[in-house]
């Protein structure tokens, strides 16, 4: 039976995955009410796990170094109980080749070399180029699906990843190019990046030392 994470873990983990976010976004990611999320954030703040920042028109929460350590401690304890067969580690191994292809596809979405500029920005005027990249991103979503299913069979918090990815891809196919790679909308790239971050956090892997 799939394991449901504790509310405190979900809120702390949501802050990590979002980087810097307001209460509403954290609550949405943690699948909790705004009121419960606010309480849990204040508790975490008293433990020095999170900090609340306000500057200019930005207002939100971020993890402290201690909070990152605590998040990883909670994740390790959860994985010990929920994943005795190390299924998440096996999924991560299968995910890495797909991740390399996703990085390449995202680069192709952002850059379309021209005769005079090998790093020319893709202005999305070449429909054949964009169609090829979109096809690869769609195929990657199809290949990701069984991996996400394996993850959700272990931990319920991985649910929704494919829905986010497919929704963004659908918008991109309708001509809204921002839904492939932008970070200010719930794009394909953002859904993928956060899944990657979730995997390395859950497994205690240093992204900088990732092979």
List Cβ neighbours of 29 (8 Å cut-off, separation of 6 or more): 14, 17, 18, 21
List Cβ neighbours of 177 (8 Å cut-off, separation of 6 or more): 109, 124, 130
Over range 33-54, report the average pLDDT: 97
The answer to whether residues 180 and 168 touch, using CB atoms and an 8 Å cutoff, is yes
With bands split at pLDDT 50, 70 and 90, how would you rate the model's confidence at 71? Answer: very high
CA distance 52 to 8: 17
Helix (H) or strand (E) holding 15: helix 7-18
Q: Which residue has the tokens 């980087």?
A: 19
With bands split at pLDDT 50, 70 and 90, how would you rate the model's confidence at 119? Answer: confident
pLDDT digits (tens, 9 = 90+) for 198-210: 999 999 998 776 7
Strand ranges inside the chain, DSSP E:
50-55, 58-63
Token pair listed for 153: 């069979």
pTM attached to this predicted model: 0.92
Average pLDDT across the chain, whole number:
94
pLDDT digits (tens, 9 = 90+) for 121-155: 998 889 999 999 999 999 999 999 999 999 999 99
Indicate the domain borders of the chain. 7-81, 85-209
CA distance 108 to 102: 10
Assigned architecture for domain 7-81: Orthogonal Bundle (1.10)
Is pLDDT above 80 for 83?
Answer: yes
Over range 154-162, report the average pLDDT: 96
CA distance 86 to 93: 11
CA distance 201 to 68: 9
With bands split at pLDDT 50, 70 and 90, how would you rate the model's confidence at 56? Answer: confident
CA distance 193 to 198: 9
Q: What percent of the chain is predicted at pLDDT more than 90?
A: 88
């Amino acid at each position: 039976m799939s394991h449901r994470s504790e509310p405190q873990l979900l809120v702390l983990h949501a802050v990590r995955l979002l980087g810097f976010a307001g209460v509403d976004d954290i609550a949405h990611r943690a699948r909790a009410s705004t009121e419960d999320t606010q309480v849990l954030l204040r508790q975490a703040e008293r433990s020095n796990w999170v900090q609340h920042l306000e500057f200019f028109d930005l207002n939100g929460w971020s993890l402290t170094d201690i909070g990152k350590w605590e998040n990883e401690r909670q994740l390790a304890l959860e994985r010990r109980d929920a994943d005795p067969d190390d299924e998440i580690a096996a999924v991560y191994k299968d995910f890495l080749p797909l991740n390399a292809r996703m990085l390449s596809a995202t680069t192709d979405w952002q850059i379309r070399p021209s005769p005079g500029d090998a790093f020319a920005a893709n202005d999305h005027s070449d429909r054949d180029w964009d169609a090829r990249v979109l096809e690869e991103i769609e195929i990657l979503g199809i290949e990701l699906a069984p991996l996400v299913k394996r993850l959700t069979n272990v931990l319920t918090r991985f649910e929704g990843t494919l829905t986010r990815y497919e929704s963004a891809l659908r918008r991109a196919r309708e001509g809204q190019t921002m839904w492939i790679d932008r970070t200010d909308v719930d794009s394909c790239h953002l859904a993928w990046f956060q899944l990657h971050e979730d995997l390395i956090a859950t497994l205690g892997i240093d992204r900088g030392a990732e092979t």
